[in-house]
Structures are given as structure tokens and as C-alpha cells.
Amino acid sequence: MSQHLSEQEIIRREKLAKMQAAGIDAYPAPLYPVSHYSTDIKDHFSEENKEDFANVCVAGRIMSINDKGKVFFIKVQDSKGLIQLYVKRDEICPEEDKSFWDNVVKHGLDLGDFIGATGYVFITKTGETSIHTQTLTLLAKSLKPLPVVKRDEEGNAYDEVTDPEFRYRQRYADLIINPAVKDTFIKRTKLINTIREFLNEQGALEVDTPVLQSIPGGAAARPFITHHNALDIPLYLRIANELYLKRLIVGGFDFVYEFSRNFRNEGMDRTHNPEFTVLEWYTAYKDYFWMMTTTEQLFEKIALALHGTTDVPVGDKTISFKAPFKRISIHDAIKENTGIDVSDKDEAGLRDVCKQLNIAVPNNIGKGKLIDEIFGATSEHTYIQPTFIIDYPVEMSPLTKKHRSKAGLVERFELMVNGKEIANAYTELNDPIDQRLRFEEQAKLMERGDDEAMFIDHDFLRALEYGMPPTSGIGIGIDRLCMLMTNNASIQDVLLFPQMRPEKLTTE
């Protein structure tokens, strides 16, 4: 991070010093009585109702300045959009005191400064809805210039700043100069609120579970490890909240959910960030068939809330979230895409398949991971329209109930959309003896060197021994879902502050 001041930064500091010498406070007390936003004015003002806009107060950041001598046209950006100010020297400054005009308006204002204005709304000769300014207040001086984004007369941006290093590291500046970025995060919040409304209407209870855990359970992933000084024990940042939510089902809640901030110490790419958000919910007396139907209903509702239609543009494709979605078993999916039936193959047979398909796999993973590798390499990317991949081998799903009619399989689905997993759901395993055996198999994989195998959670086993009713649960990747619903190809574009390497400090 550089501490070197550019020429523009030096000039801005000099302007600030002149203002302060003239007795002008460039950072006044924060209370400013905003009455209207830019869109309120532009969407509703007319000559017929101009009396309703005879005394407005707005505030925002300066995005352009047009100096006409004794008149300035200033475009101000608030949290909803842009509005133009018409500023005339003789109306905002008394004749005997032009200090404010000279030190602030004429020679002190820069792009990026925050100002407030009061006045009345009118339409200029060029047809632009504007505020005839009667008072102008400097609210905060900007000491760092914004990257310049050029706009045409219609307000369309070109020459936009697209450098991801700048945009992700300085998200605050990215939000200022790229309105579409701000819209993405408004839609993200709307997406989450739509989900919350959907679940609340069905009687679900939103809960919080621990982020610091003594055992990183509920998923197969490599955790982050920390240390608690007072207890002198290692703790893990959660990789999933599943086992805690199931404890609540044991405790008597029928329907619980949580937007869980999870952490996995794994690779980073366009669909993975070490810190991410997952929605999980668990419902007693339901199975994975009910969960598929409910998931379809939810995704339809989200698409309609954000787009007004179930057809959502994603890159050069249109994805339909209109139910029902396709359903196919993982074995049939692999066969559909490779012509190879892996349903009856043991570990050695699966390794032979990997060799045949040129899929490199480590020696320390078992049958379940091998099938997962084959599916990921040959099939996952082919499912563009929403598709439930169902009925996984038991080795792949240590927390899932065995299939009621198909030996060796479990009642599980993953929802694939645009070639990526968006949701993962089970009919939950509630047999404590079977669950213990599954955990022990995971422990054997850990001994073989699989650092993503699950730990044995003895307290969770104890909870199951008290009895857990038949239950269905699901996890939905909120970040990937947001990517889909906002037509963004990178997870970094839907995270306000994605993980990045620290900047190197330079003093040149």
C-alpha cells in the first residue's frame, strides 16, 4: 500500500488548508436533514406538482462539475442515483461575502467531495430535472481522486474501470464509479430477504450456531485452525453448521434454518472463496423428495422476485427456474456422459475408470471420492438447466440415510445449475449406530491421509442416541446462487470484500 501522494492528492490537501484558513469546516457535524433522494425527484416531479418540490434537501458525492463562471452545474450521486444541481453565485452567497464561493465552490470543490443542497426543483432548457440551489454545504472533502469514468449525454458509462485487482481491493471506490456493482449487492440482499420470507411463511425458525467449534463437523473439508488462550485448546472455524442444526431437531424444533458464514482452508478460484455463505435448513418428518419440491418452489420465487420471470440470463444462456427440474441418479449421469456404468465397481474398478478417462486422482481417497472425481470431470459441467443429481453411493455421504429401496445408495441430491453445484440435500441419517460406523469409516480415510475426511463428533452421536425424528436437510450456496441470479461469472463479484493477498507497503 503506497503512502506516496500524487500531484492531485497534494493539490486537494492544499485546497483543504485554504478552506480551513478561511474558517470553513470541511468536515462539519454529521446531522444533515436530507428530505429527498435523486430518484424520488426525477421519477415524480412534474410542472403540475412542482409545489411539492418547492423545498427539497439532498446530499451526495460530486460526480461532475461544469463551471460556467458565475453558474455551476454539479452532478451529485446519492445512494439511489444522480441529480443535477444548478448553482448560481449570487443566490448562494451574499454580495458582501464571496468567501464561500471563492474558497469552496470556485476553487475548492473536487470530484468525490460530499455536498448538501437545498432549493426547488425545475426543468432546465435542455430538459433535465435539476435543483435550483439556494444553499450549498460542504459535508466532506475528498482527498483522493476517483478513477475517471466517462459518460455520454444519456448517462451511459464507457471507459469503465474493470481491473479486478483495483475493484476487489478497493470495493468502496468500485461501488462509487460502477453503478451496476451496487445493483448486484442490492439484489443479493433482496435474494436473501426473499429466502427468509419464504421460510418464515412456512413456519421455520431462524437460529444462530457456533462459528468456533471444537470439531469441524458437517462436511468434508479442510478447516482453519486457531487457538483459544483461556481454555488452552485448539478451535476450528466452522466448515458447516449441519450438526448443530440437527441437534436442535433432536431438541424439539421441527423446522430451523441459518444463513451460515463458513470457512474452508482450500483453493481459491472463480467459484471458491475461503469465507462464504451457506443457507441450511432442516425439517422434521420430511424426506428428500419433499425437499426437491420445496427447493423448486424457492428457486422459482427467487427468480420472480429479482427478475419478474423464471427465465434468468446467465452469460450467453437463459436458464429456466420453472418447476419441475430434471432428476437423474449420479450413476446414470456418469453413464449418460461417458457410456460407462460405475454402479457395480469397487475402488480398484473405479481407479481403472479414472485411468481410462485420464482423470488424475490421489492414492489416499476411497470409493466415494473416486466417484465424485469422475462425476466432476465428466458430467457436472453438462447440466446447465436446473437438474437434481440424486441417489449417491453411501461412501460419498456419511451423514445421509440409506436409500429405502436401492442397496448401497443414500437418499441425497445435489442441484446442478449452469454446470455447478448450488444445493446439497439429504434425507438425514438418524440411526446413531449406523452414524457411528460411518464416522469410523471417515476416520480410516483420515488415517490414509485424506485431510478432508470428517472427524468423529461424539457429542453429536450422543444427541442422536436421544432420538432424532425423520428429517430432511439442505445446504444452498448463497454466493453461487447470487452469481446465477445476477449474471456474474466470478464469486468475487458477489462478495463485497473477497479474500485477497495483503498489499505490500511502499513509501516511494
**What string of pLDDT tens digits covers the 508 residues of the chain?**
556 899 999 999 999 999 999 999 999 988 999 999 999 999 999 999 999 999 999 999 999 999 999 999 999 999 999 999 999 998 988 766 778 898 999 999 999 999 999 999 999 999 999 999 999 999 999 999 998 765 555 656 555 678 888 999 999 999 999 989 999 999 999 999 999 999 999 999 999 999 999 988 888 789 999 999 999 999 999 999 999 999 999 999 999 999 999 999 998 998 899 999 999 999 999 999 999 999 999 999 999 999 999 999 999 999 999 999 999 999 999 999 999 999 999 999 999 999 999 999 998 888 888 999 999 999 999 999 999 999 998 888 888 899 999 988 999 999 999 999 999 999 999 999 999 998 888 888 888 887 767 788 999 999 999 999 999 999 999 999 999 999 999 999 999 999 998 887 665 5
| Element of type H or E holding 196 | helix 179-201
Answer yes or no: are the C-beta atoms of 199 and 222 closer than 8 Å. Answer: no
Q: Residue 322: which of 310, 309, 305 has the closest Cα?
A: 310
Q: Residue 414: which of 437, 390, 384, 448 has the closest Cα?
A: 390
Going by the annotation, the residues of the binding site are 414, 421
Look up the pTM and report it: 0.88
Q: What are phi and psi of 112, to 5 degrees?
A: 105, -20
Q: Residue 243: which of 53, 435, 448, 446 has the closest Cα?
A: 435
* CATH (residue range 181-325+449-494): 3.30.930.10
- The ranges of the chain annotated as CATH 2.40.50.140 are 7-146
Q: Residue 145: which of 16, 10, 9 has the closest Cα?
A: 9
Alpha carbon of 102 to those of 22, 61, 107, 506: distances in Å? 10, 20, 6, 37
* CATH (residue range 7-146): 2.40.50.140
Residue 223 to residue 215: CA distance in whole angstroms: 10
Residue 440 to residue 48: CA distance in whole angstroms: 76
Per DSSP bridges, beta strands 233-237 and 326-329 are: unpaired
**Axis-axis angle for helices 458-466, 242-250 (nearest 10):** 30
- The ranges of the chain annotated as CATH 3.30.930.10 are 181-325+449-494
Residue type, 296: E
- 315 conformational bin, left if phi > 0, alpha if psi -120 to 50, beta if neither: left
Residue type, 418: N
Q: Residue 90: which of 80, 81, 100, 82 has the closest Cα?
A: 100
Going by the annotation, the residues of the binding site for Mg(2+) are 414, 421
